Structure 1
């Protein structure tokens, strides 16, 4: 950004840069190209930032803010980071949601003027290819979003894997579905039009990037798509999806602007329907602790329980499938067939697991190969990973009988040509590009340059002995530094010593220093304690070494670039192989989890049944000793739509609700489930209203949040949905809460409501609601059982038929450590209230029963 002119200064149009130093003008020109990014401007061994960028960098990175004179006598704020540690600092800027543009020195410093600089990389939160900046277990999506009326177009890409998907969201529930889809995708960065407000849609933590509406204009977007992928829109299935096309076109234009090479490795866009998989809104994902726990970062989640993957790409695929359960019975059972085979065939599973363990991130390495970004150590890592793939193929081929289709199709290609190419070209142990990275024997010309350089170095090493003999100066030694190159060094004291007889005979002078100069030594540098010299022969040999070194390094760069070109040509094949490995890793992980935790295969079909025998909570049971978790049954279907669950606090009602939802979700992911048996009819959505929390930032109380979630459920649930509701109405007065709870139960039970009656598990402390069983034929009452022994209460955690008549709140207060005088007083008041109901309570009960 420009420095504000001093007050009283007249600046004419077109004269803004007059009086600025050349380096300042160069900086301003580069900054104009990326005005929204933090510009890291290479100066020697540092990347410097200036003006507003410097203030931001100093604050975010906690580095020193200084200043530098840049023309017109003005000192500009400046903050710098060392080049060798730049990736760490860049990662912190990206994590803070700041795009970063890197301006590197290009070419050599000219005789007159400044070194040319160009922006070589633009890094944004959603466009990262650098391994050090990416989390291996998570996809890193950049999402383009366009909104037109009540419809949305979404396109999202992970440039590190090439995955590219597009969809359109329309209809009366478009906002709700688009919000849920954004939560599922979890983009690192969202690209929108400059005038678009998406605060209510964007998930927390996503960086928002705004661009002009021309980027998303229909014609410009269509051209961007055709330019990137060729052909007509019809070939991509996008012709009938104008909003998806606009989102995709804007996304591609943005990627082309920041990282042009990234468009070469993108997969063909895959069009999908949001309704094609189970929709899980933000509340359900939070309440079920699928990927992140609402209790904290290190708390257990379903992902952590099931994650027995061996590769980064397998972990990413597991995260994806857990967030997007299937609705297609055939696809679910195909995945279950594969897992079933691996569970039954221990030998096959063990061989696959051994071959998978320790594989590098082949998917991201393949994409980096396609963009010529691989470092030597990454090339060797890619080769090492590809060498392991024949082991996977042998394991599959050794199977005793025919494999299920999903396993049979997941046969990765080994690509031996790429392995042989890398091994033949690169030196073992190479890490970064430097002299000697290319293996000997690859190029006769390179070997010749190295031989010349080696011979010259040997000659220089022998020069020390020859010059000592010729001059008679026994302490002379050959040295080298990067500034002066090779030299001959003699101490200052010895240079001042008188010459001996033989030296005077050879040169006719009185001191050693003069003697050396007479013999052709040229004084090059004077130090406090030594004199440094060169000879014509030494200078010539040094030039030969430098030329041989430069020629060898240039040739090594050419040979390395040629290797990258050959690997890039195999990028698509490498990426396909990596994705097959990810599928195998996912299936093996699901089978390992099933065997480790005692899961069983569910029966999944298109029926309207939800029957679970001895179901367990997959996350909670891991925190208990083996066999301690109390298993429970669930039975919902055409004749039983609502399960009304009552019982005391701390008895496990909320755990049971989550357990039912998680078993259904796991079944539709294609995983075995924690139950003795399970019959799961396809569920289109899982709705949850569990726990109490407010939204202070949005000005919403706990009860308001509860009612918003309940409204979403009542409005959107269908006969194919599963609804789990916990303590609806507890955030307000008893009578208001009971009235709302009863009205919601009646609504969800009504098969004449729009969408039909969903399968519902409704937990409540309003015990009077159990009376609804006599009026609602498809409502069943259950309770979480307890055992009373005098004043002692034992929670059995068993779900049994019938309603509860107590909540045992005073007992729970006693367990929580509330002082005895308080709990004793509460017990006395409770007994008084139970035996002498107030007139208002009586009127309230009659009113509810009368309404019923």
Structure 2
């Protein structure tokens, strides 16, 4: 290191403390990077890699970006999960001998972004701290530096519950100890795109005592302490906007694991990983950025407290009924900027005058907004009490700032005339000086007779009198002093102009310096209002989300759900909210769902593409919508309060973790059967199809029996294993339903309507035909199918649902294969069984409610049953 130049040595000393970050090293008007940083940055940012002599034997790799455009490059690096350390000159180069002192003034990481360009308006940017304790519990704390939100909890459950929470939070960066289990860090990084950082200190920094005074548990304090130390170390500035830590318990909201959130596409779609096409996309009629973020938090954590849910429903119903008031509220909200992030920027010290003008405009809408909320015929004290108008702050901002201030706080042009006496004096001197300049120009023209004479100004030469070379001979001798020569003109100055120039420029400099000083003072005064602004932001975002629910409910013809204690699921003409939106409203076929204590499980059969998965998802989404406080897409709905939702829908490999489709299927199934309770909702779609027919059928039946006998959760189970439809004879709380299909001229028509009873066949070849597989292939498949169906079948051996299934607490997956074939059991009399099934179908046939075409199809089904050979 000794062989390097002093500047490079300084760079290496600073870089030693920031090995995991790109070091933006300030040199004049550029941020430069050297060595490995330069090589990697040139590739990631696609900028030119150069080199320089650093005093060593070889030239040093080097690249750089202009300081004024650095934010764009920093955003690119942060978006890719990197960190950036900003190293600035902290001494004036003009007053320093030798190398200018430089220090890192901020470490920007994916979890600590503050500039709005790197933030999504309607999405939080959470930094998450995880602390692992010896009793295998985890302390979790997370903060959004841009809004000041701070939350914490303790997780007593399994590791998967921790992963679920980190996924739900959407953590952009996790902070852990060096001793944290590396396999767990790897698991978290595999499940989501996140950066991992390390911090060992867990005590609470003294300056943050007030925001953690309500935390009594040592585990919570340690988790929050780790987070605060990391923020303090990386940001190196005031964090006055951090709000008091909010403790929450996981059991206070509906639990939805990460698999289910993905399968149900709550906040992003499975295919594109984007918001469009998700439930959040459908719902988002919020007007403010704050409301958009709160909406996502509500979708991530549906309520389980009936009283709180009913409060939201009451407000939504009121807003629907009060249409004109709601529209006025929406119009007012459009003029409210992001109060949370504006408050954060004030505390952080990167707010500018235009930001404060936005704050002023926002605050000016609050009295009108509050008046509209007060007009609503409903008790809403919780919102109104927090709608602080901050009148003193509004007045201060109104009196101080002009309407269109400069973007930079160091260029002046921010403060109003009359706000500060000394500033007014300097401005008067500047204005009078410029008036005098204009008068001088007129006098000089009259004196010299040169009509083209003009007085100008530039930053290098100051004020000057410009005369074309053709008119130089007309100048009086001794009056003008040459200042600059141009191609076609000469520039001069006079003693009188010199004196006035000094006065004018001195006034300009003093104006800029004084305006900057006044702005810093104003910013400090605004800081005092940060807690009040944050409370106001919460109230505004809440009314925004509630009006959003009212707007979507009215526009989409949603209805208010009711809740019952009898664990009944009664949904009349339910619809899938997202599918309905992307389809023509007249094309969507609604369906009923009826479940109670005597009917805990629905076994759903029918062909692919007929709507089984859509039907299952719509039941879950209806429950989620109801419990976040929104109305639901149905003619009528009465529901229980679900504590958890588990799903296994669709086929997907987890290639990152090296898991096959079938393994993912089994893990998701295990997650449900281990943690579900009687008050949960389970959706299983085509369980067992990833292995051989008998293996899959065995697992499917075993799962059905276990859930039926041991858990009792409300369950929707779709399958192509038609043999399973006979389980309704053994499992009293299981009911068969199917998606109705009609064959016309050998073509299959999906009616997308759920009906009681099992489907008669799968129609797989018909679906292949719809997919336009070659006609020759379809014909061959039909021949093979007819041949297979005509052969005598060895019946799958029935295994009654055992009442002595072993506990799966220790190894649930190993217990899933307890279905086995009993080769010694006697064959069931196929003929008598078919006759019995035909008689049952005939009894259930409602002739007066059946169309002629449906009657013919039913008759055909009954005839097929009676033709079965013994």
1:683-832 alignment to 2 at 5 Å? 683-750=642-709, 753=710, 756-832=711-787
- Of 201, 205, 222, 2:203 maps to 222
Q: CA deviation at 1:610?
A: 1.9
1:212-247 deviation line (CA, Å, top 9, x unaligned)? 5x32xxxxx2333x541249x7x42332xx333222
Alpha-carbon spacing, 1:103–1:771, altered in 2? closer, same or farther (3 Å): same
- Of 287, 292, 312, 2:289 maps to 312
Q: CA deviation at 1:389?
A: 1.2
Alpha-carbon spacing, 1:260–1:44, altered in 2? closer, same or farther (3 Å): closer
Q: Is contact 1:342–1:591 with CA below 8 Å preserved after alignment?
A: yes
Q: Is contact 1:179–1:201 with CA below 8 Å preserved after alignment?
A: yes
Alpha-carbon spacing, 1:673–1:313, altered in 2? closer, same or farther (3 Å): same
1:310-709 alignment to 2 at 5 Å? 310-399=287-376, 401-404=377-380, 409=384, 412-432=387-407, 433=409, 434-464=411-441, 477-489=454-466, 515=477, 518-519=478-479, 521=481, 523-525=482-484, 532-709=491-668
- 2:123 maps to 1:138: yes
- Find the counterpart in structure 2 of residue 49 from structure 1: 33
TM-score normalised according to structure 1 size: 0.88
Q: CA deviation at 1:746?
A: 0.6
- 2:104 maps to 1:119: yes
Q: Is contact 2:284–2:292 with CA below 8 Å preserved after alignment?
A: yes
- Find the counterpart in structure 2 of residue 159 from structure 1: 145
Which range moved further: 322-331 or 810-819?
322-331
| In structure 1, C-alpha distance between the alignment counterparts of 2:404 and 2:70, rounded to whole Å | 24
Alpha-carbon spacing, 1:70–1:111, altered in 2? closer, same or farther (3 Å): farther
Q: Is contact 1:713–1:723 with CA below 8 Å preserved after alignment?
A: yes
- Find the counterpart in structure 1 of residue 861 from structure 2: none
Q: CA deviation at 1:468?
A: 6.5
What secondary structure does 1:201 align onto?
Answer: helix
Q: Is contact 1:410–1:584 with CA below 8 Å preserved after alignment?
A: no
Alpha-carbon spacing, 1:409–1:488, altered in 2? closer, same or farther (3 Å): closer
- Find the counterpart in structure 2 of residue 11 from structure 1: none
Alpha-carbon spacing, 1:205–1:546, altered in 2? closer, same or farther (3 Å): farther
- Of 194, 198, 206, 2:178 maps to 194
1:262-297 deviation line (CA, Å, top 9, x unaligned)? 531111111111222111111101110111011323
Q: Is contact 1:607–1:682 with CA below 8 Å preserved after alignment?
A: no
| In structure 2, C-alpha distance between the alignment counterparts of 1:630 and 1:310, rounded to whole Å | 31
Alpha-carbon spacing, 1:848–1:52, altered in 2? closer, same or farther (3 Å): farther
- Find the counterpart in structure 2 of residue 264 from structure 1: 240
- Of 161, 171, 177, 1:177 maps to 161
Which range moved further: 135-144 or 111-120?
111-120
- Find the counterpart in structure 1 of residue 833 from structure 2: none
Q: Is contact 1:252–1:263 with CA below 8 Å preserved after alignment?
A: no
Q: Is contact 2:174–2:194 with CA below 8 Å preserved after alignment?
A: yes
Q: Is contact 1:329–1:605 with CA below 8 Å preserved after alignment?
A: no
Q: CA deviation at 1:192?
A: 1.5
1:535-555 deviation line (CA, Å, top 9, x unaligned)? 454444333233222211111
Alpha-carbon spacing, 1:440–1:571, altered in 2? closer, same or farther (3 Å): same
Q: CA deviation at 1:670?
A: 1.3
| In structure 1, C-alpha distance between the alignment counterparts of 2:790 and 2:406, rounded to whole Å | 81
Q: Is contact 1:38–1:53 with CA below 8 Å preserved after alignment?
A: yes
Q: CA deviation at 1:484?
A: 2.9
Structure 2 portions without partners, runs of 5+: 799-819, 829-870
1:582-634 deviation line (CA, Å, top 9, x unaligned)? 00000000011111111111112444222212111111111222232211121
| In structure 2, C-alpha distance between the alignment counterparts of 1:456 and 1:117, rounded to whole Å | 41
Q: Is contact 1:159–1:262 with CA below 8 Å preserved after alignment?
A: no
- Find the counterpart in structure 2 of residue 92 from structure 1: 76
Q: CA deviation at 1:682?
A: 1.3
| In structure 1, C-alpha distance between the alignment counterparts of 2:115 and 2:826, rounded to whole Å | 68
1:372-412 deviation line (CA, Å, top 9, x unaligned)? 4321111111111111111211112223x343565x54652
- Of 232, 237, 243, 2:215 maps to 237
TM-score normalised according to structure 2 size: 0.86
Q: CA deviation at 1:424?
A: 1.1
1:661-704 deviation line (CA, Å, top 9, x unaligned)? 11111111111111121111111110000001112222211111
Which range moved further: 184-193 or 46-55?
46-55
Q: Is contact 1:642–1:780 with CA below 8 Å preserved after alignment?
A: yes
Q: Is contact 1:471–1:519 with CA below 8 Å preserved after alignment?
A: no
Q: Is contact 2:620–2:681 with CA below 8 Å preserved after alignment?
A: yes
- Find the counterpart in structure 2 of residue 59 from structure 1: 43
| In structure 1, C-alpha distance between the alignment counterparts of 2:316 and 2:240, rounded to whole Å | 35
| In structure 1, C-alpha distance between the alignment counterparts of 2:238 and 2:196, rounded to whole Å | 18
Alpha-carbon spacing, 1:557–1:53, altered in 2? closer, same or farther (3 Å): same
Q: Is contact 2:167–2:192 with CA below 8 Å preserved after alignment?
A: no
Q: Is contact 1:783–1:803 with CA below 8 Å preserved after alignment?
A: yes
| In structure 2, C-alpha distance between the alignment counterparts of 1:330 and 1:598, rounded to whole Å | 24
- Find the counterpart in structure 1 of residue 843 from structure 2: none
What secondary structure does 2:392 align onto?
Answer: helix
Which range moved further: 481-490 or 614-623?
481-490
Alpha-carbon spacing, 1:738–1:565, altered in 2? closer, same or farther (3 Å): same
1:498-530 deviation line (CA, Å, top 9, x unaligned)? x68x95xxxxxxxxxxx5xx5572x55555665
Which range moved further: 677-686 or 291-300?
291-300
Which range moved further: 388-397 or 96-105?
96-105
Which range moved further: 605-614 or 132-141?
605-614
| In structure 1, C-alpha distance between the alignment counterparts of 2:196 and 2:501, rounded to whole Å | 54
Q: CA deviation at 1:170?
A: 1.4
1:284-326 deviation line (CA, Å, top 9, x unaligned)? 0111011101132364111111111111111111111001111
- Find the counterpart in structure 1 of residue 87 from structure 2: 103
What secondary structure does 1:223 align onto?
Answer: coil
What secondary structure does 1:263 align onto?
Answer: coil
1:178-232 deviation line (CA, Å, top 9, x unaligned)? 11111110011111223432111346554323325x32xxxxx2333x541249x
Structure 1 portions without partners, runs of 5+: 1-15, 216-220, 504-514
| In structure 2, C-alpha distance between the alignment counterparts of 1:282 and 1:583, rounded to whole Å | 26
Q: Is contact 2:190–2:656 with CA below 8 Å preserved after alignment?
A: no
| In structure 2, C-alpha distance between the alignment counterparts of 1:851 and 1:307, rounded to whole Å | 58
| In structure 2, C-alpha distance between the alignment counterparts of 1:191 and 1:850, rounded to whole Å | 63
